[in-house]
Amino acid sequence: MKDTLIARKALTQGDVTPYFQPLVAIRTGRHAGFEALARGMAPGDPPGTGSISPLRLFGAAKTPAERLALDRLCRERAFAAFSDHHVAHPALLLFVNIDASLLDKNSVGSGHIEQCAKRWGIPPHNVVIEIIESAVPDDAALSRFCERHRQAGFLLALDDVGAGYSNLARIAALRPDVIKLDRDLVAGCDATFHRREVMRSLVALARRIGAVTVAEGVEREEEAATMIDLGVDMLQGYLMGHPQPVPAPREPIAALRRSMLLYAGMTLQRLRAEEQEHQRLLQLVRPLRLALDGQSPRRFGRILREALPHMPDMECLYVLDAFGSQTTDSVCRPCEGIPQRVVLYRPATRGTDHSLKEWFQPLRGGVDASVSQPYISAATGSLCITVGVRFNCAGGRSHILCVDATARHTGDGAAT
């Protein structure tokens, strides 16, 4: 009941104040802009501050009409507070939120955001409209809203990508200029392979469609360093700065500089660990390569079967011809763990074409050995690395011994 009264008071008396959280551009090390976040003002709060969180504030607005009115009030306050800072820092972006669930045929053409920007002297190209994660009752209205504001010169951001309703279909439909990666993906990404690879794919997707990526909820330098490694464009979160009543650009950003140094150290450590692991694997594979060298192809399968029990780190062994076609069946260790994974993952069989795989390309080019990046094995479903080494059979033809080895993890959570 108290929260409802606070929200109604905010609606009738304007007791809402904006807070601004910085977004930092990794490439320049400077503030790129600020996201406006609303807070409600409770009795006793100092002027210009608010202790009522956005979640409580908007949760107290019960009807769509109340939520729309509060949504617009918060944006009006944000534009007003940001206007002086735009004059002093004309390159900064203002990120403002809009709840997509409030959009319908009546609200789409209201022109409220355009009027706010004009009233407070902020050009549309300095304003990023964030479509926050929510169910959309009218997809057509959302599309019309985005197209109208894109034509007016505003930038569009899709918030919380990787969670809830901000899915790939919405990226395709809205064609955002900015993709904000959800904090649940960012948290702990430095130590979680699958989470990190999902992020890597989203960053690559954004780059292909010309969108800028923002990592939300960055709280640790290890997370920031991982975002740098993945190619994210901007960082947002407590590590870069807490929301404040006044947007205050400060540069350079000390936390980002520390994260960059950590990234450099992590990268060097990973490269050294990868090189050591590659040399270890090549040494482990060498006896098997020598055993195959000069043998008849008819004996390859037997030699592989006899070798596997003595190679504990190896999951699968198989041989290719010089063109990447598999000439033996895969000799694999029995699948351990969840039984149903046997249905999902099956070893490659004789005749499988490996010629397009990335790790095969150096071998196609004439090198004697190649080691892949870590990937999920199609044979076992586990994280593995493929080692390919060249040898010659009894007839002098070139063949490739392929060994799928269990990937190890370095201290920063990366696999080698």
Q: Phi and psi at residue 394, in whole multiples of 5°?
A: -60, -30
Judge whether 2-252 and 281-406 match in fold.
Answer: no
- Which pLDDT belongs to residue 339? 54
Average pLDDT value for residue range 312-326:
95
> Alpha-carbon distance 346 to 5, whole Å?
61
412 pLDDT tier (thresholds 50, 70, 90): very low
DSSP 220-274: SHHHHHHHHHHT-SEEESTTT---BSS----SS-HHHHHHHHHHHHHHHHHHHHH
Residue 72 CA to residue 274 CA, distance in Å, equals 53
| Residue 307 pLDDT | 96
Question: Where is pLDDT greater, at 223 or 163?
Answer: 223
Which has more pLDDT, 106 or 290? Answer: 290
According to DSSP H, which parts of 89-220 are helical? 112-119, 139-151, 168-174, 183-186, 193-209
Q: Which of 235-244, 249-258, 267-276, 374-383 has the lowest mean pLDDT?
A: 249-258
Q: Tokens representing 225?
A: 């360093």
Is pLDDT of 397 > 80?
Answer: yes
Kindly report which listed range (63-67, 200-204, 235-239) carries the lowest average pLDDT score. Answer: 63-67
Please, which pLDDT band fits residue 336 given cuts at 50, 70 and 90? low
Q: Does position 163 have pLDDT exceeding 70, yes or no?
A: yes
Say if residue 283's pLDDT is above 80: yes
Q: Which CATH class, in words, describes the domain spanning 2-252?
A: alpha beta
Higher pLDDT, 316 or 334: 316
Say what the pTM is: 0.81
**Each residue's pLDDT tens digit, 24-81:** 999 999 999 999 998 888 777 888 788 888 888 887 777 888 888 888 999 999 999 9
Percent of the chain with pLDDT over 70: 90
Per-residue CA distances from 319 to 56, 140, 309 (Å): 62, 54, 17
- The DSSP code sequence of 181-201 is EPHHHHTTGGG-HHHHHHHHH
Whole-angstrom Cα distance, residue 186 to residue 229? Answer: 13
Residue 410 pLDDT level (bands cut at 50, 70, 90): very low
pLDDT tens per residue across span 89-132:
999 999 999 888 888 766 777 889 999 999 999 999 999 999 98
Contact between residue 170 and residue 146 where contact means Cβ atoms under 8 Å apart: no
| Token duo for residue 332 | 């694999």
Residues 343, 344, 347, 353: what is their CA dihedral angle, to the nearest 10 degrees? 130
Continuous segment of H or E residues that includes residue 318: strand 314-321
Residue 319 predicted with pLDDT over 80: yes
pLDDT of residue 56: 81
pLDDT of residue 3: 60
Q: For 35, which DSSP code? A: E
- What residue ranges do the domains of the chain occupy? 2-252, 281-406
More confident residue, 107 or 205: 205
Which run of H or E residues covers position 81?
A: helix 64-88
CA 120/CA 80 separation, integer angstroms: 6
pLDDT tens per residue, range 365-395: 999 999 999 888 887 778 899 999 999 999 9
Averaged confidence pLDDT in the chain: 88
pLDDT for the residue numbered 166: 59
The 3 state secondary structure assigned to 233-248 is CEEECCCCCCCECCCC
CATH fold for domain 281-406:
Beta-Lactamase (3.30.450)
Question: What does each C-alpha distance from 198 to 32, 188, 230 come to in angstroms?
Answer: 25, 13, 10
